[in-house]
């Protein structure tokens, strides 16, 4: 590629309303040059709207969007120097792979000789150089997605925008393409915004993750920090597979108590309606444990077993050893490390620190 410097991207207090519905609220985000930023959230969270505002496919109700030093808030999409990869590959069925990839250059009047050279370059990068004379109908889903990527890359844009690009692929191919995408982005160094509802994609691909809910940015941090230091109850419950255990109770004088559980914490606040969060891998089955539960379900996952317990009407999932042998109905004790637990206000959802 041409090795030009990567550009930063900024959203400054961007608001987007469709009628009375506020889809994005006071959205502030600063993406570093060359960063792989994932916008993560459920359907309707505002992540695709943010991407479309950056692309110029939607206009912001208020606020400012910039790429590098340039304010692009009111700039036409074609003049923003971004390339978008969609969930649907949007390939022209009557054009060969080479013609599909070259299309953005063709409409810009790039000479045929240069087109051919640039198509060969990107085809080699995404490993479709043997497919250039085929038509889309002759390709697998993964191959079509590579062609769509090549078509975006051939323009050498300032920013790549990707909207759920892997969601049409089967699970095995998705895993393979995640690794390919991460490697490609590292090679190219192009600033990339990637939209997904899949937290595994977000955690494996991103330098940083922006997690949205109902148009509001909930946390913006590295995948490791979002996983190990969630800002609020929504983040804690959304990120993690299997999800974090969330147990209802009350917090008073540092002690958390709920149905079937009691735990001393280092917190000083008192909250009548609180939630204790602990990840399955931070629970330990067996000797020296302080909670007792009845086994509800046992799931062998290959390298480990997920054991779901009933603790006085609350369920707790524990990541156990692969050779865990007890079955449903049996009793077992479980211990948790207070230092690995989180407490949230059940009403506001805010983390109690």
pLDDT (tens digit per residue) in 288-319: 678 999 999 999 999 999 999 999 899 999 99
Domain boundaries, the chain: 9-234, 245-352
Q: What CA–CA distance (Å, rounded) separates 303 from 294?
A: 23
Q: What contacts 121, CB < 8 A, 6 or more positions away? A: 1, 154
- For domain 9-234, the CATH architecture is 3-Layer(aba) Sandwich (3.40)
- 148 and 142 in contact (C-beta within 8 Å)? no
Q: What CA–CA distance (Å, rounded) separates 351 from 233?
A: 7
Q: What CA–CA distance (Å, rounded) separates 192 from 215?
A: 21
125 pLDDT above the threshold of 90: no
Q: What CA–CA distance (Å, rounded) separates 57 from 51?
A: 9
Q: Identify the pLDDT of residue 224.
A: 97
Which among 1, 99, 76, 87 has a CA at the least distance from the CA of 107? 99
Helix H, strand E, coil C: the string for 248-294 is EEEEECCEEEECCEEEECCCCCCEEEEEEEECHHHEEECCCCCEEEE
What length does the chain have?
A: 353
1 pLDDT above the threshold of 50: no
- Name the pairing type of β-strands 36-40 and 191-196: parallel
Q: Identify the pLDDT of residue 3.
A: 45
Q: Identify the pLDDT of residue 86.
A: 83
pLDDT (tens digit per residue) in 65-113: 999 999 999 999 999 999 998 877 889 999 999 999 999 999 889 999 9
Q: What is the mean pLDDT of residues 344-350?
A: 97
- 119 and 101 in contact (C-beta within 8 Å)? yes
Q: In DSSP terms, which residues pair with 314 in a beta bridge?
A: 311
Q: Identify the pLDDT of residue 4.
A: 57
At residue 50's C-alpha, the angle toward residues 241 and 234, to 5°, is 35
User: Between residues 305 and 5, which one has the greater pLDDT?
Assistant: 305
Q: What is the mean pLDDT of residues 27-50?
A: 97
Q: Identify the pLDDT of residue 288.
A: 66
- 206 and 35 in contact (C-beta within 8 Å)? no
User: Between residues 169 and 328, which one has the greater pLDDT?
Assistant: 328
Q: What is the mean pLDDT of residues 180-185?
A: 89
Q: How confident is the model at residue 287 (pLDDT cuts 50, 70, 90)?
A: low
Looking at the domain 245-352, which fold is it?
OB fold (Dihydrolipoamide Acetyltransferase, E2P) (2.40.50)
Tell me what percent of the residues of the chain surpass a pLDDT of 90.
Answer: 81
Q: Do domains 9-234 and 245-352 have the same CATH topology?
A: no
Quick one: tokens of 319? Answer: 């990541």
64 pLDDT above the threshold of 90: yes
């Amino acid at each position: 590629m041409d090795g030009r410097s990567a550009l930063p991207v900024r959203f400054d207090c961007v608001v987007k309303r469709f009628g009375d519905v506020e889809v994005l609220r006071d959205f502030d985000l600063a993406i570093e040059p060359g960063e792989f930023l994932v916008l993560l959230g459920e359907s309707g969270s505002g992540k695709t709207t943010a991407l479309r505002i950056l692309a110029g496919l939607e206009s912001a109700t208020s606020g400012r969007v910039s790429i590098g030093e340039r304010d692009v808030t009111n700039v036409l999409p074609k003049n923003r120097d971004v390339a978008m990869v969609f969930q649907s590959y949007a390939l022209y069925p009557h054009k060969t792979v080479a013609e599909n990839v070259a299309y953005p250059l063709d409409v810009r009047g790039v000479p045929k000789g240069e087109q051919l050279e640039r198509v060969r370059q990107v085809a080699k990068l995404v490993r479709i150089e043997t497919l250039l004379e085929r038509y889309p109908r002759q390709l697998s889903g993964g191959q079509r997605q590579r062609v769509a990527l090549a078509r975006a890359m051939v323009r050498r844009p300032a920013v790549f925008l990707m909207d759920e690009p892997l969601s049409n692929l089967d699970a095995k191919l998705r895993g393979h393409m995640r690794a390919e995408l991460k490697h490609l982005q590292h090679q190219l160094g192009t600033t990339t915004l990637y939209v997904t509802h899949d937290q595994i994609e977000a955690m494996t691909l991103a330098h940083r993750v922006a997690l949205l809910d109902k148009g509001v940015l909930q946390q913006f941090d590295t995948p490791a920090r979002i996983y190990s230091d969630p800002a609020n109850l929504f983040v804690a419950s959304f990120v993690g597979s299997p999800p974090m255990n969330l147990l209802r109770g009350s917090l008073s004088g540092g002690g958390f108590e709920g149905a079937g559980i009691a735990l001393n914490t280092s917190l000083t606040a008192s909250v009548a309606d609180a939630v204790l969060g602990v990840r399955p891998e931070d629970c330990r089955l067996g000797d020296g444990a302080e909670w007792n539960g009845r086994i509800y379900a046992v799931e062998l996952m290959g390298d480990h077993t997920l054991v779901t317990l009933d603790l006085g009407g609350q369920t707790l999932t524990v990541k156990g050893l692969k050779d865990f042998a007890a079955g449903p109905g049996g009793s077992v004790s479980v211990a948790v490390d207070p230092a690995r637990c989180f407490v949230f206000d059940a009403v506001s959802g805010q983390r109690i620190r």
